[in-house]
Every structure is written in structure tokens, then in C-alpha cells.
Amino acid sequence: MDYSHLGSRDRLLLAAIHLIAERGYHGVTTQEIASAAGLSEKTLFRHFGTKQNLLESAFDRYHYAEEMRLLFKEKLVGDLEKDLLSISKTYHEIMNRNRKLIQISIKDEVQLPGFKERTMHHPLQLLDFLANYLVEMEKKGKAVCADPKLQAFTFMMSQFGAFVNDLEAGRNYPGIELESFMQESTKLFAKALAP
């Protein structure tokens, strides 16, 4: 990775995220992180004091919910399949942008308080948005939802599962691309939820 155009602090943060996501918190040394950032170990400690604080600072880069709120407010067109596809695409975009932090949070060997909470806060919100959306669609007669929350949850789990599966370089199931999964899964759910 090339971090050369960034300031020292950012280079250290990115190197840490990259390496810890790959090998875990205890699997990486501060020396390695510093080298990957093209800096000395000393500089790392001057900036962050401790290894743990370095990781905590890295997590402050996690963001997510705002975009989703925007999506639900502005981009949906009232067509079940198209909207689900929009949601799916936005979801994967966000997840991929933060994929390394999410990887770390899944591995989660470090018991930094609030990590999981912080990364889970946003999916929870998405679940709410989606369930509400389904209720709205039902009112318009464009969907039938006996249990909107569970149905929204099922949709999210399929997307989440595909994302986790894709985390490991996506080569777990040969011949299946994320793109075509998004198409197919939204088509399936659109049909399942259609009146």
C-alpha cells in the first residue's frame, strides 16, 4: 500500500487498519505497522501513546448511517425491486468502504468497549428504515408484509451473509459475483414480498 501522500498520523492509521484486519490485533506488532507506514516505531508511539489507542483512533473513522438515511429519504422510487436493489447497492458500498474496520470488529479479539456497539448501531438503524419502508409499501398496496421487521431482517441477513462471504477475497464460492448476487437476491425478495 502507498500512503506516501498522507500525513504521518493518517499513514499510521491506515497501515494499522490494513494489517490488523488481515492478521488480527495480536498478530501484528507496532514495529510492523510503523514500517508499513514508512515511519519509525518511535513515531507511532509519539502519536498514539499505546497500541490500543492507535486502534481506537482508527475506529473513529467508521461512519455509515447518514448515507442510509439519505437513501431512504431521497433515492427510493416506490418500485419494490428497484428500491431493494438501490438499498443493496448502497449497503455493499458502505460495507466495502469500511470493510477492514468491520473485519476487525468481527474478529474482535480486543475487548475495546463500544467497538461492536459502534459498528452495530448503524445496521440496526437500517433495519428500522427498511421495515418502515415495507409498511409504507404495503399501505400503497405494493407489498404484503405479515411481519415487516422479520422480513426486513431476512433481507438484511442475506446481504450481510454475502458481504461476510465476500470479505475473504470473495473466492469462497467460485463463479459467483457480488454484482449478480445483488441482482438475483433483490429480484427474489421483490417477488416474495409482492402482493
Partner DNA sequence: TTATAATGTCAGTACTGACAGACAATGCTG
Partner DNA sequence: CAGCATTGTCTGTCAGTACTGACATTATAA
> Does residue 98 touch a copy of itself according to CB under 8 A?
no
* Residue 153 binding result from a copy of itself, DNA, none, given CB thresholds of 5 to 8 Å by partner type: a copy of itself
> Does residue 39 touch DNA according to CB under 7 A?
yes
* Residue 189 binding result from DNA, a copy of itself, none, given CB thresholds of 5 to 8 Å by partner type: a copy of itself
Closer by beta carbon to DNA, 17 or else 137: 17
| Buried-state track 83-109, b at ≥16 Cβ within 10 A, e below 16 | bbbbbbebbbebbeebbbbbbbbeeee
Write out the DSSP string of 11-59: HHHHHHHHHHHHH-STTS-HHHHHHHTTS-HHHHHHHHSSHHHHHHHHH
> Does residue 8 touch DNA according to CB under 7 A?
yes
C-alpha cell at 176: 459467483
Closer by beta carbon to a copy of itself, 13 or else 156: 156
Select from 13, 15, 36, 51 the one that contacts DNA (CB under 7 A).
51
* Residue 78 binding result from DNA, a copy of itself, none, given CB thresholds of 5 to 8 Å by partner type: none
> Footprint of DNA on residues 52-81 (CB under 7 A)?
52
* Residue 6 binding result from DNA, a copy of itself, none, given CB thresholds of 5 to 8 Å by partner type: none
Q: How far apart are CA 149 and CA 127, in angstroms?
A: 7
C-alpha cell at 194: 409482492
The Cα-based distances of 88 to 2, 62, 81, 85, 101 in angstroms read 30, 19, 10, 5, 20
* Residue 90 binding result from DNA, a copy of itself, none, given CB thresholds of 5 to 8 Å by partner type: none
Size of residue set near a copy of itself by CB under 8 A: 44
